[in-house]
Amino acid sequence: MRILVTGGAGFIGSHVSRRFAARGAQVVLFDNLSRHGSEHNLEWVTRESPSAEFVRGDVRDAESVERAARECQAIFHLAAQVAVTSSVENPREDFEINALGTFNVLEAARRAGTRPLVIYTSTNKVYGGMEGAAVEERGGRYAYADLPLGVSETWPLDFHSPYGCSKGAGDQYVRDYARIYQLPTVVFRQSCIYGERQFGIEDQGWLAHFVISAVLGRPITIYGDGKQVRDVLFIEDLLESFERAVERREDVRGQVYNIGGGPSKTLAVWADAGPLLESLAGRPLPVEWGDWRPGDQRIYVSDIRKAERDLGWRPRIAPAEGLARLYRWVEENQALFS
């Protein structure tokens, strides 16, 4: 099987490329190497999987995407602009990468002649601020008053920020190409994914950013009160869901799934993550406190029952275990962050 991975040298993309190459697939990594750390991830994949092919390209270039997609049986569309703050500063670039780039990938898939499965990594940001969900504080962290199992795929879409709009546009285009062109496409609305090879920064990849800062002695700023709750999903569990989708491509065609740790795998941003990190570091970690950031939800937790039912998938790795593995990787690879 030939697989195209856009953003193939990114955090998730490099893991996807390595995983499927190890399974014997012919993998094409498509990346413009604009993200910090991507060159290190590319070196890792090509060293561990010499058969993997690298194509330097940009999803905004329709012709280069179409060339890369030829003869592919599956496309993982992971290339994206991923920071809300960057989308506010440069909404045109955000639109061109996320919305136009996704359109280019879909057209490349439609023209490929092989009817490839397209897996699109969307975001929980398509649900917006979720002002209609009642939130309360319990035991020093926030909780939904009426959503004990989290947010399902039926929650109304409400795009906030240029990033939410551009990713949401791609989300809906991917769904519609399954209806109009009968392409096997599937949307994964992801929550907080974390793991090794993640070069997290303050406004994207917050858990990895905390770990990197703790290991290197860099400052950590907590915005809000630190009681905000997110469901977190370790990279290996995400890869397992991807593999299940490939195996069941016709069953998942046109479907949307909320993919995250679910109610059993949540962390309060500092109330929970702080003590875990301090235990791993063996010392107190000083933090600075900042004001709430616009649009910052007090809680977001995915209802993952649909993915469990359709994919036969359930996340396995607890936050404490995943965080410890990420911490060890950063400790052992500090030179990558200098």
**Closest C-alpha among 266, 261, 267 to residue 308:** 261
Cα atoms in the Cβ-side hemisphere of radius 13 Å centred on 77? 37
What does the block give as tokens for 134? Answer: 């009642």
State yes or no: is 163 an active-site residue.
yes
What does the block give as tokens for 70? Answer: 């030829």
Task: Report the alpha-carbon distance of residue 7 to residue 80 in Å, rounded.
Answer: 7
Strand partners, 234: 194
Maximum separation of any 2 CA atoms in the chain, in Å: 57
Cα atoms in the Cβ-side hemisphere of radius 13 Å centred on 316? 7
Rg of the chain over CA atoms, in angstroms?
19
**Helix, strand or coil, per DSSP, at residue 133:** coil
Q: Specify the residue for token string 């195209």.
A: 4
Pair 300, 294: CB distance under 8 Å: no
Task: Report the alpha-carbon distance of residue 49 to residue 42 in Å, rounded.
Answer: 10
Of these residues, 127, 142, 144, 163, which one is catalytic?
Answer: 163
Positions marked active-site: 163
